[in-house]
Amino acid sequence: MSSSNKVLIIVGDATETLDTMYPYYRLIEAGFVPVVAAPEKRRYQMVLHEVKPGWTITKEWEGYSIEADIAFRDIKEEEYAGIMFSGGRAPEYIRYDQDLVRATKHFFATNKPIASVCHGVEIPAYADCVRGRRMATVLKCRFDLEVCGGIFVNEPCVIDGNLISGRTFHDNGHYVGPWIKLLEAARR
């Protein structure tokens, strides 16, 4: 159990805006302190992702920007109650950061509350933390999950112990609440 009120939100360039901002503000509402972590401590450009009617691929627009509070290399995992892996294109690039891999492994090993949405699955998959775990993710990341031993579930909220996941930002209202309940339970 953790008495910390700090929760990591993992981002990078081209992190999806709604994947990030909805849990960010929900954490504040619940009395937690969201701490944005990224490859470097600087401002990051987020994006909006959507498959437009008639399209078969994702269209991307610039969204808001967000300031990273901490670089991956400076994360002291024991100071945080939980972690959230946001989506967008960022996870495809940041998943190789060894400090992020270290932090990711910690949250799985210590059974702290973990949230993942959309492409966020690429980070714990690369860190070899999804074997035998049931997760939701965007359909195009199903392969990333399954090739690393995870089990794809096409539902808006998948709860597998301390791991709670959703497919896309359309699922925010389904999976973020149960994740926050886990964080609250761990705080008691």
What is the predicted pLDDT for the residue at 56? Answer: 84
* Lowest-confidence pick of 2-16, 62-76, 90-104, 122-136: 2-16
The full 3-state SS of 98-122, as one line of letters, equals: HHHHHHHHHHHHCCCCEEEEHHHHH
DSSP strand pairing (33-38 vs 6-10) = parallel
How many Å apart are CA 3 and CA 74, to the nearest integer? 20
Q: Flag whether pLDDT at 1 surpasses 60.
A: no
Domain ranges of the chain: 6-187
Question: What's 6-187's CATH class?
Answer: alpha beta
pLDDT digits (tens, 9 = 90+) for 13-70: 999 999 999 999 999 999 999 999 999 999 999 999 888 888 888 888 899 999 999 9
> DSSP label at 5?
-
What is the predicted pLDDT for the residue at 3? Answer: 60
How many Å apart are CA 173 and CA 144, to the nearest integer? 24
9, 98, 119, 31: CA torsion to nearest 10: -10
pLDDT digits (tens, 9 = 90+) for 132-179: 999 999 999 999 999 999 999 999 999 999 999 999 999 999 999 999
pTM of the model: 0.95
